[in-house]
Chain A
Amino acid sequence: MRRAVFFNLARIGMPVGAVTSIAHRISGVLLALGIPFSIYLLALSLRDPSSYARAQNLLAEPMIKAGAIVFVWALTHHLLAGVRHLLSDIDLGSRLPVARRSAWAVNGAGLAVALLAAGVLLGVEA
């Protein structure tokens, strides 16, 4: 018997909490992927004074700056969405109206901080 299924993700609604959730997952994966480079940067900054200077110069590279902005978004969103999860674990903000408001707040704050970081990193030319 032929079977069909409705599973067109573009046509299935995404409530605001679902956006917060998938962004939480994506930001988490991005942060995890950034761990090796971050450890490398740490090692570089500690080795000797010239490496320390090299680490600082690296952060001025446009590609690295772009990555830093994404990193800031990822860290902010992941952290705030995580706090929202921790609070709902202890039954704070688990009811729908509050949960919706906190989802909007988290989504907005992540973007706002990322924009701020972009302004600081891209606006200030050394």
Chain B
Amino acid sequence: MKFSIFRFNPEHDEKPCMQDYEIEPQPGEIMLLDVILRIKAMDNTLTFRKSCREGVCGSDAMNINGRNGLACITPVRGLKEPVRLRPLPSFPVIRDLVVDMTRFFKQYHSIRPYLINGEPPPEKERLQSPEDRDKLDGLYECILCGCCTSQCPSSWWNPEKFVGPAGLLQAERFIADSRDRATRDRLDDLKSAYRLFRCRTIMNCTEVCPKGLAPSRAIEKIRLMLVKESF
């Protein structure tokens, strides 16, 4: 199979280039990450992040033939050749397929991704009914891989001001949590022209989420809540 991989070494290169590799996937190699690891064995200057190899850590998020995804859960056979591997779009590239996630995490932290409850802590834990716990399904599973936000045009144009799909999904995760008491503040924080309302429901985020989550739908829920709250 033919691969074409984005290469950039800031110590040597003026600008990035695409390097071609040819490699035949062995019978046991099902996922793209398996093949990339063997390419690295051939060319050990190739740099990328990887960890769990089972789609739960989010380290190996990259752009595969134009669409973001996790290399460890993307089957390698059937990919259109040459398989073009590039770093997540619009994020600053540190080296090869490794991107700087600082801005991404800054937006995540800006929505206060932790339970805010001033009430005195109970004996054991803050109780939550099964029905209330169900409301967190589709929200808590985010692995913060960055696939959604780096595929979102609104994030491309205003990465510093627009929170982005991942951050907004987590905002909804805490707004929907029955144990959280800061709903009003969380909603107020998102009323500006930029924080949430740059979203135009393009839905690229939901298209590429490797965990099957729907940030666009979470954003809609927040919007409806903002509308309800304003009357």
In the bound complex, how far is the Cα of B153 from the Cα of A25, in angstroms? 13
B197 close to chain A: CB less than 8 A: no
> Are A7 and B84 interface neighbours, CB within 8 A?
no
CB 8 Å contact bits of A1-20 with B (1 = contact, 0 = none)? 11111110001110101100
Task: Give complex CA distance A42, B90 in Å.
Answer: 46
Min C-beta distance of B3 to chain A, whole Å: 15
- For residue A15, give the distance in angstroms from its CB to the closest CB of chain B: 4
Tell whether A45 is near chain B: CB-to-CB under 8 Å.
no
Which of these, B10, B67, B92, B217, contacts A13 with CB under 8 Å? B67
Q: Does B194 contact A (CB under 8 A)?
A: no
CB distance from B87 to the nearest CB of A (A): 5
- Is A65 positioned at the interface, with any CB of B under 8 Å from its CB? no
Closest residue of A by beta carbon distance from B65 = A13
B68-109 interface mask toward A, CB cutoff 8 Å, 1 = contact, 0 = none? 000000000000000010111111111000001000000000
Residues in chain A near residue B67, CB distance under 8 A: 13, 15
| CA gap between A82 and B157 in the complex, in Å | 22
Q: Which of B12-20, B38-46, B169-177 contacts A (4 or more CB under 8 A)?
A: B12-20
B203 touches A6 (CB 8 A): no
The contact size tier of chain A is 20 to 34
Complex: A13 Cα to B64 Cα, angstroms: 9
Task: Tell whether B127 is near chain A: CB-to-CB under 8 Å.
Answer: no
Is A96 a contact partner of B206 (Cβ separation < 8 A)?
Answer: yes
**Inter-subunit contact B66/A1 (CB<8 Å):** no
A1-59 contacts to B, CB under 8 A, are 1-7, 11-13, 15, 17-18, 21, 25
Binding site for A on B (CB under 8 A): 6, 8, 10, 13-16, 63, 65-67, 84, 86-94, 100, 151, 153, 156, 200-204, 206-207, 214, 216-217, 220-221, 223-224
